[in-house]
Every structure is written in C-alpha cells, then in structure tokens.
C-alpha cells in the first residue's frame, strides 16, 4: 500500500482505537502531513527505533511499539532465547511508561518473561540489568537527548550492547514481515503476572549496579577527604540521572552536591529547557546560575536517559566557568585513568582504548603515551560494546576505556553502553585528585593540550524533515561520494574512505585498501596536518552530520582552524 492507502486502512480497521482515528481525521486535508506519517515504517538506526510521538507508521505510538516488540519476540523465539527473558527500562519522556508496559505485555503474550523496572532508570542500568539477569535481550524506551516530541525504542542483545549486525537487520526484517496488525500478540497485565511472565525489578538491581560502579574508583580515600568540601552542581535535566548520580557521589564521599531544584523531578515536556541536551550550553543556564551562587568547583548535567554527560569547570586564571566538549571530557577521564593506573602498575599488558571514527585524534596520542592499543570503530556505542565482547570472548585484549565525541564514555565493563553515572563519578574523582595538585579540571585540560597538542573538533548538522528531506540527504551523500573533493579550504585530501564501499583511497598513489570495518554510509577524508572531515546521515533523526578535526599550535589557533575548515565544508554542503 502507498501512504494514502495505509492512512485509510488505519482509519477503517477496528484494531486501531478511537483516539488514534480522531488524531488522524484531524489531518485529513493535509496530504503532506499524511505522507510524512505513513510514507515509511520507522527503521532501526545506530540508536534503534526513534521518532515523533503520534499516530502513523512513521511515528512512535502503542501500535508501532507493539509491532516492533512482536518482531523482536519472533526473532528471540527463532534464536531459541525465549526462556531467558527480556529486561525493560524507560525514561521520563511522555508515553515512556505506557510504551514500556506494552513491550512487557507483548513479550509475555509470546511466552517470553518480561523483567520491567518499577520506575524510570538510566539507559546504562538497563544494559547492566539484562546481563545480570541473564536475559537474551533488553529494551529501553527513550529518545535520549532529543526534543520533547520524540520517544524511542532501544534494543540490546544478550551481551548488553545495542544490537549490531546481523541482529539489527534480522529484527527489522521480522518487524517488516508483519503485514497484519491484528497478528500482534498482547495480553493483560494481570494475566501476564499470573502466568509468571511479568516480573517487576528495581532496588536489588540498583544496589548491585552501584556496587559495580564503586569498583572503578581508583582513590577512594582521596574522594572521601576532598569530597567533604568540593562543591558540585548537578542537573538531571528532568531525567533519570537524579537518584543514581546523587547516590553514587554520596556513597563515595562527595557531600557538597547541589541539585538544580527546577530540573530535579522528571518532566517529559522538559519545561525549563529548549532541548534536554547537555551538548548545548543553553541547557546549563539554571545550573550555572546555581553554581555561581554556591561557588561550585564543577557543574555537571546528564541527558534524560543519563548516558551522556556535559561538563563545566572553573578556569582558575579567570574564575569563569568553561565548557567541555565530549571529546575534551572523554580525554580528561582517559588521561586520568591511565596516568593513575600507570603509577599503580595496573594497566593491562594487552590493554586497549576505543574511539569512534568521528572522535578526536588526541586519543591516538594518549594511547601511544601509555602503550595501549587504540581501536577505532564506527559511530554508535554499540560498536564499542562489540569490541569489549570480542576481547572477552577471545581472551585477547583488555578494555581500559572507550568514548565517542557525542558526550558519552564507559569506565569499566559493567555495561555495554555509554554511562553518564559512572562518568559523573570518574570526573568528580578526577576533579578531587587535581584539586590536591592545585588544578581545576579546566586547568588540567589545558595541561593535556600542552602535552599532546591542541586537537579541536567541530560538528555541523543540517536537518531535512519528511520524505523530501530523506531524499535530499540521500542525494547529498551520493554527490559527495561520486565527486569527492580534493581540497577543503587550505587542506589537501590525503586519503578518502568510503565505508559503504569498504575502500580507502590513497589520493597520491591511487592505491586502495579496505577499511576493516563493516559497511556503513559514511564518507571520511584524511587531510594534511592531522586534520580530517567526515560526513554521515544520522541513523535516528532526519539529519546529515558534518564532523571535522584539526590540530593547532594553541587553543586559539586550533579554534580558528575549526572555523575556517567548517566554512569550507559548508560550501560543499550548499
């Protein structure tokens, strides 16, 4: 069926409830809106299923959630994993409670035990819980840092990482194979509980999760000593981080933690921020105001599902609060962990750190400094989780740290996804340590730049919504792929990587090699002077992203180079 036929089917079929039909009738004269809601089914990307809440096949609603769950259930049964169960979590977003309940009841109707959290929990705790419980899979209802109109459906496999090939394509094939909505199974809550197929989880998992996090503390005595007086302002941005972040800091010794009161409680409308994204400085407005009032040393914010962490710290020279990019905070934690482990002699002989292809090249220098291997993977923390699993399965390599530029990292292997709760803990420990040396975290970041070089990065994102937007993004990627530039501003292209074709082209010699990674619609340009450019469509949003990296002779020089290279790249985009 085309989009209009599908629209009419939803209006006519008694399977869909009256509220859904009334919502759809309200747009009966808006063909563009009908097309956007029905021209496709939501697809799994780097973060799973994600879309705007509303009626339609291209929206997040009870029916698309049920259908996705039925497809997941079919795949689990074919894989012989139905006896292991599925862990289910959810965040603060509108409809998250309802969607997570539908997931549990659909799984139960398929004979698969559902372990559903009693209330909202961070994404990394869902990754942790499914492994703790021995589940075949996990589902978390969240749209991460997206605006309030979005919700999403993240799927994890038994290793605790978000689904990677072939599981991702196999699950979506199962979902797409469902042609009759009436074949999706469902049962009542009471029936599911009575059958022993619906189990509520909570405190027991919380306690074990917290115990695992505390194992990552390197200097517990120092945390207790300095933590008595070090002031930390924290905001969960209305999300899931409030209770676990405060708990872990309290238990390791940080007594002066101030939570932004206006953003403490869950709020699916995120009423105090334009967007609940700690990458945006505007999200810190209330936190910085509180920080100035109390004289905080450190300002932290987690996104709604608490897998990303934003950071501000004082510059001791100016007294101003300075913002960190995800690359900066990642490298700060990495340098702290490895430097302290080196002193203690606890870096594994076969240790490795992981970064994604769009993350800072400073990671290469840190790996070299501490004699650990640097592994590189595609965008998406699931690929970092995959590398952790591979090392454990083969007994080759010991994971030390992994991060991505989008404000996410993982200390330890308790989870297989980025974990802002453990990052909060690690950064506060690092801040306490450097305070004993007379440095703020910002001062230490400047020391790191002086040690390894002034690596700076930038990102530009263009949004093109709807069917026409998706086609425009596709055309832009194909045009760059088929007509790759040889220069970007003052930089020359040294190598051109086309991950969709699994080819790296040496521009000077014409020689080609393989990328060594799975195929993905990503284009990457290695430039001279340690610079680079990468272009990729988002896997979860109607966006195309342009990433850049440079190396400068100073902080200011690097930022100027970022600005110039960004301008050159945007000329290409236009």
Classified as helix, coil or strand, 397 is coil
Rg (alpha carbons) of the chain, rounded to whole number: 24
Distance CA 283, CA 298 (A): 15
Maximum pairwise Cα distance, the chain: 70
Nearest C-alpha neighbor of 106 from the set 68, 148, 143 = 68
Distance CA 469, CA 463 (A): 8
Distance CA 67, CA 171 (A): 11
Which two structure tokens, joined as six digits, stand for 142? 């969240």
Distance CA 312, CA 320 (A): 10
Which two structure tokens, joined as six digits, stand for 489? 């501003």
Task: Provide CB contacts within 8 A for 317, sequence distance 6+.
Answer: none
Length of the chain (residues) = 574
Which two structure tokens, joined as six digits, stand for 105? 């009841």
Distance CA 11, CA 5 (A): 10
Burial label for 363, CB within 10 Å (0-12, 13-18, 19+), is buried
Secondary structure string (H, E, C) spanning 207-245: HHHHHHHHCCCCCHHHHHHHCCCCEEEEECCCCCCHHHH
Contact 446, 541 (CB under 8 A): no
First to last CA, the chain: 35
H or E segment at 362? Answer: helix 362-369
Distance CA 445, CA 448 (A): 5
Q: Token match 């999403």: residue?
A: 152
Nearest C-alpha neighbor of 563 from the set 480, 457, 469 = 457
Which two structure tokens, joined as six digits, stand for 524? 């990457």
Which two structure tokens, joined as six digits, stand for 481? 């792929």
Distance CA 364, CA 352 (A): 11
Catalytic residue among 144, 313, 329, 406: 144
Catalytic status, residue 144: yes
- Give Cα 331 to chain centroid, integer Å: 17
Looking at 26-151, list the stretches that DSSP marks H as alpha helix, in order from N- to C-terminal side.
31-38, 62-78, 96-109, 123-133
Burial label for 380, CB within 10 Å (0-12, 13-18, 19+), is buried
Catalytically active residues are 144
């Amino acid at each position: 069926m085309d989009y209009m036929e599908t629209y009419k089917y939803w209006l006519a079929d008694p399977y869909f409830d009256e509220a859904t039909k009334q919502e759809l009738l309200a747009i009966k004269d808006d063909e563009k809106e009908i097309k956007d809601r029905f021209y496709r089914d939501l697809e799994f990307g780097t973060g799973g299923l994600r879309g705007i809440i509303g009626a339609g096949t291209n929206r997040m609603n009870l029916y698309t959630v049920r259908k996705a769950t039925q497809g997941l259930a079919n795949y689990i049964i074919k894989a012989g994993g139905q006896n292991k169960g599925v862990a289910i979590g959810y965040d603060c977003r509108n409809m998250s409670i309802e969607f997570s309940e539908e997931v549990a009841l659909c799984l139960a109707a398929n004979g698969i035990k559902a372990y559903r959290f009693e209330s909202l929990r961070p994404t990394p705790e869902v990754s942790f819980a499914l492994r703790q419980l021995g589940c075949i899979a996990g589902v978390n209802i969240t749209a991460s840092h997206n605006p309030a109109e979005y919700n999403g459906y993240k799927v994890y496999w038994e290793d605790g990482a978000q689904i990677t090939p072939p599981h991702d394509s196999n699950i979506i094939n199962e979902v797409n194979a469902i042609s009759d909505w009436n074949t999706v199974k469902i049962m009542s809550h009471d029936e599911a509980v009575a059958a022993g197929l619906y189990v509520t989880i909570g405190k027991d998992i919380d306690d074990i999760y917290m115990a695992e996090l505390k194992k990552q503390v390197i200097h517990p005595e120092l945390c207790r000593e300095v933590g008595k007086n070090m002031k930390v302002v924290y905001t969960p941005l209305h999300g899931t981080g409030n209770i676990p972040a405060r708990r872990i800091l309290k238990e390791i010794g940080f007594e002066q933690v101030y939570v932004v009161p206006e953003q403490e409680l869950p709020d699916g409308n995120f009423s105090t921020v334009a967007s609940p994204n700690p990458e945006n400085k505007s999200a810190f407005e209330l936190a910085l105001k509180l920080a100035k009032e109390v004289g905080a040393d450190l300002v932290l914010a987690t996104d709604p599902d608490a897998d990303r962490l934003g950071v501000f710290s004082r510059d001791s020279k100016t007294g101003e609060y300075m913002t960190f990019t995800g690359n900066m905070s990642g490298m700060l934690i990495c340098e702290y962990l490895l430097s302290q482990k080196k002193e203690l002699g606890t870096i594994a002989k076969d240790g490795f750190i992981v970064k994604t292809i769009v993350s800072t090249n400073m990671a290469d220098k840190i790996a070299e400094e501490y004699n650990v291997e640097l592994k590189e993977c595609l965008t998406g923390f699931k690929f970092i989780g995959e590398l952790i699993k591979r090392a454990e399965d083969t007994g080759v390599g010991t994971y030390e740290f992994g991060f991505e530029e989008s404000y996410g990292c993982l200390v330890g292997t308790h989870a297989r996804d980025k974990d802002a709760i453990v990052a909060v803990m690690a950064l506060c420990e690092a801040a306490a340590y450097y305070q004993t040396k007379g440095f703020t975290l910002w001062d230490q970041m400047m020391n790191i730049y002086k040690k390894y070089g002034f690596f700076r990065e930038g990102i530009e994102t263009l949004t093109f919504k709807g069917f026409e937007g998706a086609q425009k993004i596709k055309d832009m990627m194909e045009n760059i792929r088929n007509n790759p530039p040889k220069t970007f501003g003052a930089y020359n292209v040294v190598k051109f990587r086309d991950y969709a074709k699994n080819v790296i082209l040496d521009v000077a010699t014409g020689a080609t090699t393989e990328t060594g990674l799975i195929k993905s619609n990503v284009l990457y340009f290695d430039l001279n002077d340690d610079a680079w450019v990468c272009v990729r469509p988002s896997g979860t949003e109607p966006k195309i992203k342009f990433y850049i990296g440079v190396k400068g002779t100073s902080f200011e020089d690097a930022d100027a180079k970022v600005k110039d290279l960004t301008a050159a790249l945007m000329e290409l985009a236009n």
